[in-house]
Structure 1
Amino acid sequence: MGIELTMLHGVYLLFIFIIIGIMIMRRDTTLICVIGIFLLGLIASSSLNIAVSGIFNSFIFAIRELLGTILIISIIVAMSRILIRLGINEVMISPFTKMIRTPALAYWTIGILMMVISWFFWPSPAVALLGAVLLPVALRVGLPALGVAMAMNLFGHGIALSGDYIIQGAPKLTADAAGIPVGEVMAASVPLVIIMGAVTTVVAFWMLKRDMRKGKLSVSEEELVLHQEDEKHEVLSYQTKKLLSVLIPILLLIDVVVMFTLGLQGGDATALIGGTVIFILILIAMLGYRNQGMEKITSYMIEGFQFGFKVFGPVIPIAAFFYMGDAGFTSVFGELLPEGSQGIVNDLGYALAQSVPVHDSIAAITLTIVGSITGLDGSGFSGISLVGSIASLFAVAIGKGIATLTALGQISAIWVGGGTLVPWALIPAAAICNVSPFELARRNLFPVIIGLFVTTIAAMLILSI
């Protein structure tokens, strides 16, 4: 049964290409996104009132969806600022300073640590945990903040999330949709995750080193000032700082144990980290500022929230547009999609899958493309059930490879939408490192495309065996 595409689908697809083009030109996309949302509402409802109101309501929807990330980033920034200003950060990062002595060591050490921690409780909390501690170290040895963001992003939101071997949220969704055991998807994904991760991170590192060597990318004075020239208040003894530098990682490690023990993931994991960080902020403020501690708690929280909302300002409009491709459309405009529609993005994915000839190579290419398209809404997860269903259809047609095709689609969807290419999904790493999410997306684009190309070829070879 085919999906009937309408003008609504065409306009959405057209604006995707326009937005991608505008991003490549390094121009702001807010105006284009607002026009796109307006046209989608106008076409669906034929009502000027609903279309205009939909612009504002789409922003509300985007903020609601992103609020958890905004808050965790804000709170982590608040904590990191007080750690820096009271000198606790210097004591805490000293073991890493000895280990990280060059930009290359910084890139690979940060990346591998990010990957391991992300396996246990997903990347966003991991970015928050590692970024504030390791960013100053990397800057000192010459790795630009953009390089740190790339390492955390590619290893965490890319490698760790696309496999998701510990929490198993992604493979469970795809396996259920494909009608196979989750273990089969995870086993099939191992070689593909390794290939995708290795190719992407190596290419990204090579490009990073090339631009650093040519002087196109370096640690700026502003970055050093931001992370090294905060006023230090010598109000705590060295022993107290040392005690806190041990206590803070222990508390966060306890969070990891609790997450693993209770099976917390996603928003629940982020909430646990956020609550713990608030307690840490309160403890340090009361110890460091004593009588003024209560006021300082509020002061640092305000500073963190100002940072968080400033960073998210340009992201909300583009997120609002892409959310219209999934559940956001119904939430904002009501039940105005064509009959039988499963969301604009999913409809486009189905149409693509049903319009190509069936063959091993075509099946692999189609799953990569469909996975990438479903990732454009920025979640990485909303469309992976679709990927499992399409993998099942192609596997029946070619008589094999359901687990490999499912894993390939899962990897494509998450690498694109889970936080390496779609700008608003890049926010955690970009915010912690104080870099533009759009610039980070542009930097990731070429390595991720090469990785997907090589991984798709690898999947073809596996299917041909």
Structure 2
Amino acid sequence: MVQIGMLHYMYLAVIVFILIMMIYKKDIVLPCLIGIGIIGYIATGNVLNSVQIIYKALVVSAREFIEIIVIISLISAMSKSLRDIRADEFMVKPMKKFMTNPTLSFFILGFTMLIVSWFIWPTPAVAFIGTIMVPAALKSGLPAIWVAVTLNLFGNGMALSSDFFIQAAPAITSKALGINNPFYLIKASLLLWSVMSISTIVSSFIMMKRDIIKSPKEKLKEVNEVRNVLVKISTKIIAVVTPLIFIMDIFLIYKFKLKGAEATSLIGGTAVIVTVVVSIIKYSFKRALGEVAGSIKDGFIFGMKVFAPVIIIGAFFFLGSKETALQILGKGAGSTGILSDVGLYVSQRFPINKVSVIIMQSSISALLGVGGSGFSGLPLIGTLAQVFSSSININKEGLAALGQIITIWVGGGTIIPWSLVPIAAICDVQPFELAKKNLIPVFIGVICTIITAIIFL
């Protein structure tokens, strides 16, 4: 019979405090650091050891995330190189001729954002395609606010919550879930992701059509047209070859059944090669010696800026998982995983079933997303799925996928205003207005996904 004590109660108290801070839109990095120190002291009874545990927790967390940080950084560096030679404009320019009405613009802009975001993440993708396709979408009659909604839901929602190719989100969740291969999580997420995506996009499209019918003469915002200047032949070649190379990567991943780190390595290596080739073409080999270093450095600055808070937040939540708790706390109290102990304790004393577990997982996931960073809650999501699945007969990969989808849709940048600023700025709309438009479709999607999980998990 599992027993819980002061260590467990304090850990839960810190989690509750963190959730309250999220609800009030406060940063949770400091509470996580303080929480690690408190838990370290209770577990060891030694001030010196508790100070060391703070550092150990950050190192363990960084070690868990390092592969993800590297791939994101390399892809960001490649994106910057392509922008420098204006290959990004040429790559998406042909799409503009097909955007002739609001409906076509909604789906063409959306699926372009989805595909590009799968390979370079939504934040770089906004800069990658936003300034090229937004003017065409506006001219077709799609209001600026719905241009922003389209980019947001397809990019920060559909692409980021699935992350099929870069596999950053599945890798984080899988680590906490206790499985080494993110492919199993991705496979389990397909049905839930499809339900969430389709229900949200369809709801949003219906609302968009209703708005246009109600306000057909609404004055559309204009943005600057893309400069019509001569593009070098080498730029055109790069613009054509780069997508083809990544399409080839997809084929190779499928053909040789590359999964997890192997698939990520292929994408990352390709990004490095493209970055180097682009730099040589633009600057010549001699100047490229320095320019490549600059691009890579900029990429890692972006990667660390995104993941620095995730490392700290993850360090606290990794205390709840058995594998990482042992590395951080050493053998002794808490090394079996604090949340694991609590989950087993609850399951032994209180009746739980599939429906209650799914509702709890979904509610916690939504609260974690309120912090505005869908990724920071993924370690806890994976840990909870592992705990719940050890107590009842439920698919742990599916339960973790449910939490990942809800957390990222909420916190990855669809209904949290302060995380909507990049897209809102490109489309010249207010972040709070964008969040308001997203709220109902995302809520409908979450409800549909929870119902699907109850039926099929």
Q: TM-score, normalised by structure 2?
A: 0.70
Matched, 1:158 2:158: no
Counterpart CA distance in 2 for 1:432 and 1:274 is: 28
- Is the Cα–Cα contact under 8 Å of residues 40 and 50 in structure 2 kept in the other structure? yes
Counterpart CA distance in 2 for 1:349 and 1:369 is: 12
Number of the residue aligned with 1:322: 317
Counterpart CA distance in 2 for 1:170 and 1:314 is: 16
Counterpart CA distance in 2 for 1:432 and 1:264 is: 36
What's the offset of the Cα at 1:245? 1.0
Q: Which amino acid aligns with 2:161?
A: G
Number of the residue aligned with 1:75: 74
What's the offset of the Cα at 1:285? 0.8
Number of the residue aligned with 1:415: 405
Number of the residue aligned with 2:358: 367
- Is the Cα–Cα contact under 8 Å of residues 72 and 120 in structure 2 kept in the other structure? no
Number of the residue aligned with 2:198: 198
Change in 2 beyond 3 A, CA 1:295/1:193: closer
- Is the Cα–Cα contact under 8 Å of residues 8 and 338 in structure 2 kept in the other structure? yes
Paired residue for 1:307, among 297, 302, 305? 302
Number of the residue aligned with 1:288: 282
Q: Which amino acid aligns with 1:19?
A: I
Q: TM-score, normalised by structure 1?
A: 0.69
Number of the residue aligned with 2:218: none
- Is the Cα–Cα contact under 8 Å of residues 18 and 28 in structure 2 kept in the other structure? yes
- Is the Cα–Cα contact under 8 Å of residues 11 and 35 in structure 2 kept in the other structure? yes
Counterpart CA distance in 2 for 1:69 and 1:365 is: 33
Matched residues, percent identical? 26
Number of the residue aligned with 1:16: 15
Number of the residue aligned with 1:254: 248
Counterpart CA distance in 1 for 2:350 and 2:105 is: 44
Aligned pairs (5 A) from 1:212-251: 238-251=232-245
What's the offset of the Cα at 1:199? 3.8
Matched, 1:148 2:151: yes
Matched, 1:336 2:326: no
- Is the Cα–Cα contact under 8 Å of residues 384 and 409 in structure 1 kept in the other structure? yes
Q: Which amino acid aligns with 2:26?
A: R
Q: The residue matched to 1:5 in structure 2 has which SS?
A: coil
What's the offset of the Cα at 1:274? 1.1
- Is the Cα–Cα contact under 8 Å of residues 73 and 431 in structure 1 kept in the other structure? no
Counterpart CA distance in 2 for 1:285 and 1:352 is: 57
Unaligned runs of 5+ in 1: 177-181, 214-219, 393-401, 425-429
Counterpart CA distance in 2 for 1:244 and 1:139 is: 23
Change in 2 beyond 3 A, CA 1:98/1:45: farther
- Is the Cα–Cα contact under 8 Å of residues 9 and 348 in structure 1 kept in the other structure? yes
Counterpart CA distance in 1 for 2:293 and 2:128 is: 22
Counterpart CA distance in 2 for 1:154 and 1:338 is: 35
- Is the Cα–Cα contact under 8 Å of residues 122 and 155 in structure 2 kept in the other structure? yes
Counterpart CA distance in 2 for 1:31 and 1:110 is: 39
- Is the Cα–Cα contact under 8 Å of residues 93 and 133 in structure 2 kept in the other structure? no
What's the offset of the Cα at 1:289? 0.9
Q: Which amino acid aligns with 2:196?
A: M
Counterpart CA distance in 2 for 1:77 and 1:158 is: 19
State the Cα deviation string for residues 377-396 of structure 1 (Å, max 9, x = none): 5145555454544442xxxx
Number of the residue aligned with 1:46: 45
Aligned pairs (5 A) from 1:166-185: none
Is 132-141 or 148-157 further displaced after alignment? 132-141
Counterpart CA distance in 2 for 1:186 and 1:278 is: 28
Change in 2 beyond 3 A, CA 1:115/1:274: same
Counterpart CA distance in 1 for 2:103 and 2:311 is: 34
Is 244-253 or 9-18 further displaced after alignment? 9-18
Change in 2 beyond 3 A, CA 1:41/1:64: same
What's the offset of the Cα at 1:131? 5.8
- Is the Cα–Cα contact under 8 Å of residues 44 and 336 in structure 1 kept in the other structure? yes
State the Cα deviation string for residues 24-57 of structure 1 (Å, max 9, x = none): 2222222211111111111111111111111122
What's the offset of the Cα at 1:357? 3.8
State the Cα deviation string for residues 302-337 of structure 1 (Å, max 9, x = none): 222222223333333222222222233221121234
Aligned pairs (5 A) from 1:61-100: 61-99=60-98
Change in 2 beyond 3 A, CA 1:384/1:371: farther
Change in 2 beyond 3 A, CA 1:33/1:381: closer
Matched, 1:267 2:261: yes
Q: The residue matched to 2:332 in structure 1 has which SS?
A: coil
Counterpart CA distance in 2 for 1:156 and 1:294 is: 34
Q: Which amino acid aligns with 2:39?
A: L
Counterpart CA distance in 2 for 1:252 and 1:461 is: 37
What's the offset of the Cα at 1:159? 5.5
- Is the Cα–Cα contact under 8 Å of residues 415 and 448 in structure 1 kept in the other structure? no
Q: Which amino acid aligns with 1:246?
A: V
State the Cα deviation string for residues 163-204 of structure 1 (Å, max 9, x = none): x9xx9x999x99x9xxxxx9xx979x8765544333445567
- Is the Cα–Cα contact under 8 Å of residues 80 and 132 in structure 1 kept in the other structure? no
Change in 2 beyond 3 A, CA 1:130/1:256: farther
Unaligned runs of 5+ in 2: 138-143, 215-220, 369-375, 414-418, 425-430
What's the offset of the Cα at 1:206? 8.5
Is 102-111 or 407-416 further displaced after alignment? 102-111
Counterpart CA distance in 2 for 1:253 and 1:203 is: 31
Q: Which amino acid aligns with 1:333?
A: L
Matched, 1:30 2:29: yes
- Is the Cα–Cα contact under 8 Å of residues 358 and 453 in structure 2 kept in the other structure? no
Is 362-371 or 67-76 further displaced after alignment? 362-371
- Is the Cα–Cα contact under 8 Å of residues 110 and 148 in structure 1 kept in the other structure? yes
What's the offset of the Cα at 1:282? 0.8
Number of the residue aligned with 1:297: 292
What's the offset of the Cα at 1:251? 0.8
- Is the Cα–Cα contact under 8 Å of residues 91 and 240 in structure 2 kept in the other structure? yes
